[in-house]
């Protein structure tokens, strides 16, 4: 299965595309969608929507995973992230993708084993799990790949009786620290 993970943001939206087959994770593509903060929200949302549609069209994922909104004291920030989540969900729905949402804590727990892991720890594990050498310019990109990886593990654990971590470790002994 091909999964696109999205870390929504109004200025920077991260995306990560992976393939998951036979308990093996394979990196396909990732990056960020950067919109100018000087622009109004509607054209920025349009840019994010158009880019997600282009990525979906180019990589043909069947699964779409997105991070839920986390609690923040800034209501305006929560609303704006909600806008991005809405257009990202619309892009996935229009392309008939299976959509799943995960909390930041759930993503961290799935990828790092600790729901309170730092962004640096998440980034390290994403690089290790996907066998990547390069650093990511922004945490938004590694977070999106972590969301896609979390989805792969969750889908795998639902379809198998054994835990996804155990199965992954058995299939990938070279990735164990």
Question: Is residue 140 among the annotated active site residues?
Answer: yes
Helix (H, G, I), strand (E, B) or coil at 6: strand
Catalytic one of 140, 141, 143, 156: 140
The phi, psi pair for 132, rounded to 5°, reads: -105, 145
Q: Which domain holds residue 46?
A: 2-175
Q: What is the reported pLDDT for 74?
A: 80
- Domain with 145 in it: what CATH number? 3.30.420.10
Tens-digit pLDDT profile for the chain (177 aa)?
999 999 999 999 999 999 999 889 999 999 999 999 999 999 999 999 999 999 999 999 999 999 997 766 788 888 889 999 999 999 999 999 999 999 999 999 999 999 889 999 999 999 999 999 888 888 999 999 999 999 999 987 655 544 556 666 777 677 666
List Cα–Cα distances, 52 to 13, 16, 61, in angstroms: 10, 11, 11
In three-state secondary structure terms, 109 is helix
**Is there a contact between 89 and 12 (Cβ–Cβ < 8 Å)?**
no
Mapped onto helix, strand or coil, the DSSP state of residue 4 is strand
- Which residues share a beta bridge with 38? none
Given this model, what pLDDT does residue 148 score?
A: 98
- Catalytic residue of the set 51, 67, 141, 143: 67
Active site residue 135: no
Tell me if residue 7 is catalytic. Answer: yes
The domain tally of the chain equals: 1
Catalytic residue among 7, 51, 141, 143: 7
Q: In 3-state terms, what secondary structure has residue 65? A: strand
């Amino acid at each position: 299965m091909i999964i696109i993970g999205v870390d929504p943001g109004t200025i920077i939206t991260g995306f990560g595309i992976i393939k998951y087959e036979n308990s093996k994770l394979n990196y396909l593509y990732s990056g960020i969608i950067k919109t100018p903060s000087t622009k109004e929200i509607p054209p920025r949302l349009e840019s994010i929507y158009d880019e997600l549609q282009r990525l979906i069209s180019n990589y043909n994922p069947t699964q779409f995973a997105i991070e839920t909104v986390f609690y923040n004291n800034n209501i305006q920030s929560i609303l704006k992230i909600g806008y991005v989540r809405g257009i990202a969900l619309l892009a996935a729905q229009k392309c008939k993708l299976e959509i799943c949402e995960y909390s930041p804590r759930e993503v961290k727990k799935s990828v790092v084993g600790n729901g309170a892991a730092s962004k640096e720890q998440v980034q390290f594990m994403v690089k290790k799990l996907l066998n990547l050498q390069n650093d990511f310019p922004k945490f938004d990109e590694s977070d999106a790949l972590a969301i896609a990886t979390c989805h792969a593990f969750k889908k795998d654990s639902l379809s198998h009786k054994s835990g996804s971590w155990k199965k992954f470790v058995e299939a990938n002994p070279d990735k164990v620290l």
